[in-house]
């Protein structure tokens, strides 16, 4: 047998073992010992990620590697994983945030982003949840190109239907930098809201408490699923597929003809797509 081929066979079990996943469970707190809600947990280079619960608990299965923890209001943290672990305690330290910036001068009320041309809803809509594959971290949105300083006052969108129990979502605003398109979250604090279970269309308007001033550049305004009622989801998943309601564990929006980005797990990679979910962004443009 060829020596290289023989070595490949001998090393195969080692490579397989190296990729085996181990489960890590723990809790995320701040410096005061209070739980930190909805922290993104994962390994970006492996496209693996999840989001912690509202009381800071997390569970994730990954190959031995370094776990990263990201939250808008805190500095990122890291935990080296060498094997399965229980009761891991991760302490996040608060970000030293710059004060909100204000710009003098005249302003004009306008739309920074309009939904665009709508795709026929009979064709289908964007889906925020993948049963069996985990839905937390699913993120879709729209691209905003800012030419003059712009103060966001209103973010609105439409949910066609939602059948995810206990669905909590967040609005994220990223600045897109460089040819490699690095996404930098510019919020000082998260914007969370509940999406009710409903068969009918629901209109949502988010009016940020935080001053969100965009300098000229390219941005991504996104909707992200951060939490569900895990016990209710588990009960639905245990039902035979034939007994599940037709739209169980699905939430959808209409689609529009404008380019955007998507990712289906926290810490995953943003992937460019030719449609968006019709987010509208309105505010004040500085003249």
Per-residue pLDDT at 167: 92
Per-residue pLDDT at 135: 63
pLDDT confidence of 124, banded at 50, 70, 90?
Answer: low
> Is the distance from CB of 63 to CB of 18 less than 8 angstroms?
yes
Structural domain containing residue 168: 107-286
Same domain? 170 vs 219: yes
Per-residue pLDDT at 245: 86
pLDDT digits (tens, 9 = 90+) for 34-67: 999 999 999 998 888 999 999 999 999 999 999 9
For residue 132, give the DSSP letter. Answer: T
For residue 95 the two structure tokens come to 């970000």
d(Cα 163, Cα 151) in Å, to the nearest integer? Answer: 34
Say how many domains are in the chain: 2
Same domain? 72 vs 137: no
Same domain? 111 vs 210: yes
Per-residue pLDDT at 5: 44
Residue 99 lies in a domain: no
pLDDT confidence of 102, banded at 50, 70, 90?
Answer: low
Same domain? 177 vs 280: yes
Residue 240 lies in a domain: yes
End-to-end CA distance of the chain: 74
pLDDT digits (tens, 9 = 90+) for 223-281: 999 999 989 988 998 999 889 888 888 888 888 888 899 888 888 889 998 888 889 99
- Of 148, 99, 143, the C-alpha closest to 284 is 148
CATH code (residue 269): 2.60.120
Same domain? 70 vs 125: no
d(Cα 228, Cα 111) in Å, to the nearest integer? Answer: 32
CA-derived radius of gyration, the chain: 21
pLDDT digits (tens, 9 = 90+) for 183-203: 999 999 899 999 999 999 999
173: part of which helix (H) or strand (E)? strand 168-177
Q: Please say if the pLDDT value at position 133 is more than 60.
A: no
> Is the distance from CB of 82 to CB of 23 less than 8 angstroms?
no
For residue 218 the two structure tokens come to 């390219």
């Amino acid at each position: 047998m060829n020596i290289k081929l023989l070595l490949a066979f001998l090393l195969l079990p080692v490579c397989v073992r190296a990729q085996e996943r181990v489960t890590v469970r723990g809790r995320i707190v701040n410096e005061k010992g209070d739980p930190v809600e909805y922290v993104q947990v994962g390994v970006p280079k492996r496209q693996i990620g999840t989001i912690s619960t509202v009381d800071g608990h997390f569970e994730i299965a990954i190959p031995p590697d370094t776990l990263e923890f990201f939250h808008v209001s805190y500095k990122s943290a890291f935990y080296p994983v060498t094997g399965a672990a229980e009761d891991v305690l991760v302490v996040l330290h608060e970000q030293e945030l710059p004060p909100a910036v204000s710009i003098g001068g005249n302003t004009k009320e306008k739309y920074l982003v309009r939904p665009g041309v709508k795709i026929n809803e009979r064709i289908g809509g964007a889906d925020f949840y993948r049963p069996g594959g985990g839905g937390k971290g699913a993120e879709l949105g729209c691209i905003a190109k800012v030419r003059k300083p712009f103060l966001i006052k209103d973010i609105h969108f439409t949910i066609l239907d939602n059948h995810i129990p206990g669905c909590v979502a967040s609005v994220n605003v990223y600045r897109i930098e460089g040819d490699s398109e690095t996404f930098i979250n510019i919020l000082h604090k998260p914007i969370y809201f509940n999406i009710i279970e409903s068969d009918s269309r629901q209109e949502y308007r988010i009016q940020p408490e935080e001053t969100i001033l965009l300098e000229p550049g390219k941005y991504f305004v996104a909707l992200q699923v951060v939490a569900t009622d895990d016990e209710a989801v588990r009960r639905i998943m245990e039902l035979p597929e034939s007994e599940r309601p037709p739209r169980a564990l699905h939430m959808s929006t209409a689609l529009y003809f404008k380019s955007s980005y998507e990712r289906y797990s926290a810490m995953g990679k943003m992937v460019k797509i030719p449609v968006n979910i019709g987010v509208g962004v309105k505010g004040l443009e500085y003249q």
